[in-house]
C-alpha cells in the first residue's frame, strides 16, 4: 500500500489522504481499481476521525483504492467550500487515474451524517461528479429552524439564513435523471436522518433510478462501521446488525460497476524467480506461465 497526501489548492485546511493498493496486483482481471472518497461527518463543525480512516481501510481491505477528504469546517466552510473540495478530489483522481491505477468511471463518494450531505451534494451539485454514492445516516437537508440551522449558517457563512438558502441545500429536491446511483444505510430510531434517506429513496423511485436503502431497526445516530475499528472505545457505537451495511455496500457496488472477474490460474511467481536466478531449469505451466 502506498499512502499519499494532497493539499487542496486555495484551501489550506483541506486535504486528501490516499491509500493506494499495490499496483502489481489486480482486482479480478482489471489492473485499474474503483476508488472510494470518504467524507467524514461532524455537522460541518469538524471531521470525525471515527468516520474517516477506519472506513477507508475497510474499503481498501475489499480491493478498493480509498481516500479520506478532510474538508473545511466551521466558518471556513462558508460558500459551501466543502463542495468545491470534494469536486476537486474527484477531478484529481480522474486526472491521475492512469498513474494511480484508478478506473475513472468507478469513483465513489462515501459520507456519514453531514459528510453524507457532502457526498450526496457531490453527485447532485458538483462539477466533477462521482459514479456512485454511499451514504450512512445522511443529513440530506438543512432545516431553517432555530437551534437546528447551524449547518446552514456555516455553509452560507451568515448568522441570518433564509428559506431560499435552505432550499439550495435541500438535496433530494435537486435530484435529476443524471444523478448517480446511491446506497443508503440508516436506523429507524435515528429521527435525525431516517426521514432524509426515505426522501431520497422516494425521489429515486419516482425517477426510476437505481438505489438501495437499508433501514435497520435499532440504533442511534453516528455508528460509522459499528465495529471495534471505529467505536473509539464506546460500546454504544457497536452494533453487529448495522455493521452489515459495509459489506452490503460492496456487493451493491459490484452490481452497479460489475463484479470482478476471476479465472483459474496460478498467481505464484516462485518458479519464475528461481529460474531467473539459475536455481531451477525453465519449467512452464501448460498455459505458458511459470507455475
Same domain, 76 and 210: yes
Q: Are 288 and 192 part of one and the same domain?
A: no
**Domain co-membership, 251 together with 225:** yes
pTM of the model: 0.91
Q: What is the pLDDT of residue 279?
A: 87
* Residue 273 and residue 167 share a domain: no
Q: Is the pLDDT of residue 286 over 70?
A: no
Q: How confident is the model at residue 271 (pLDDT cuts 50, 70, 90)?
A: confident
pLDDT (mean) for 220-235? 92
For the ranges 45-49, 91-95, 219-223, 250-254, the lowest mean pLDDT is seen at: 219-223
Average pLDDT over residues 78-103: 97
Domains: count for the chain: 2
Over residues 173-193, the pLDDT tens digits come to: 999 999 999 999 999 999 877
Q: What are phi and psi of 30, to 5 degrees?
A: -100, 130
152 and 32 share one domain: yes
Check whether residue 112 and residue 23 sit in a common domain. yes
Q: Are residues 131 and 271 in the same domain?
A: no
Tell me the average pLDDT of the chain.
91
Same domain, 122 and 236: yes
Q: Which three cell numbers stand for residue 89?
A: 478530489
Question: Do 18 and 75 lie in a common domain?
Answer: yes
The Cα 94–Cα 21 span in angstroms is 16
Q: Which residues share a beta bridge with 212?
A: 183
Residues 111 and 18 in one domain: yes
| Residue 284 confidence class, pLDDT cut points 50, 70, 90 | low
Cα-based distances in Å from 277 to 136, 268, 270, 272: 51, 16, 11, 9
The residue segments making up the domain with residue 285 are: 264-291
**What does the alpha-carbon distance between residue 124 and residue 118 come to, in Å, rounded to a whole number?**
10
Q: Is 49 found in the same domain as 155?
A: yes
Which range has the worst mean pLDDT, 15-19, 236-240, 246-250, 251-255?
Answer: 236-240
Which pLDDT score is estimated for 290?
Answer: 46
Amino acid at each position: 500500500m502506498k499512502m499519499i497526501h494532497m493539499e487542496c489548492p486555495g484551501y489550506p485546511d483541506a486535504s486528501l489522504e490516499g491509500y493506494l493498493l499495490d499496483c502489481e496486483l489486480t482486482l479480478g482481471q482489471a489492473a485499474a481499481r474503483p476508488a472510494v472518497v470518504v467524507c467524514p461527518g461532524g455537522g460541518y463543525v469538524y471531521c470525525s476521525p471515527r468516520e474517516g480512516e477506519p472506513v477507508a481501510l475497510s474499503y481498501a481491505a475489499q480491493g478498493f483504492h480509498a481516500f479520506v477528504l478532510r474538508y473545511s469546517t466551521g466558518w471556513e466552510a462558508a460558500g459551501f467550500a466543502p463542495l468545491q473540495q470534494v469536486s476537486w478530489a474527484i477531478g484529481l483522481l480522474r486526472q491521475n487515474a492512469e498513474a494511480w491505477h484508478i478506473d475513472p468511471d468507478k469513483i465513489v463518494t462515501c459520507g456519514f451524517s453531514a459528510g453524507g450531505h457532502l457526498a450526496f451534494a457531490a453527485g447532485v451539485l458538483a462539477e466533477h461528479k462521482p459514479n456512485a454514492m454511499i451514504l450512512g445516516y445522511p443529513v440530506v437537508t438543512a432545516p431553517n429552524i432555530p437551534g437546528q440551522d447551524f449547518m446552514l449558517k456555516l455553509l452560507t457563512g451568515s448568522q441570518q439564513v433564509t428559506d431560499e438558502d435552505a432550499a439550495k441545500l435541500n438535496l433530494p429536491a435537486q435530484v435529476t435523471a443524471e444523478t448517480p446511483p446511491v446506497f443508503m444505510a440508516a436506523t429507524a430510531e435515528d429521527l435525525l436522518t431516517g426521514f432524509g434517506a426515505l426522501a431520497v429513496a422516494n425521489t429515486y423511485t419516482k425517477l426510476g433510478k437505481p438505489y438501495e436503502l437499508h433501514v435497520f431497526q435499532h440504533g442511534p445516530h453516528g455508528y460509522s462501521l459499528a465495529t471495534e475499528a471505529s467505536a473509539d472505545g464506546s460500546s454504544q457505537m457497536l452494533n453487529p446488525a448495522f455493521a452489515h451495511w459495509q459489506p452490503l455496500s460492496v456487493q451493491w457496488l459490484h452490481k452497479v460497476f460489475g463484479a470482478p472477474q476471476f479465472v483459474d490460474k496460478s498467481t505464484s511467481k516462485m518458479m519464475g524467480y528461481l529460474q531467473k536466478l539459475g536455481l531451477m531449469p525453465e519449467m512452464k505451466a501448460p498455459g505458458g506461465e511459470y507455475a
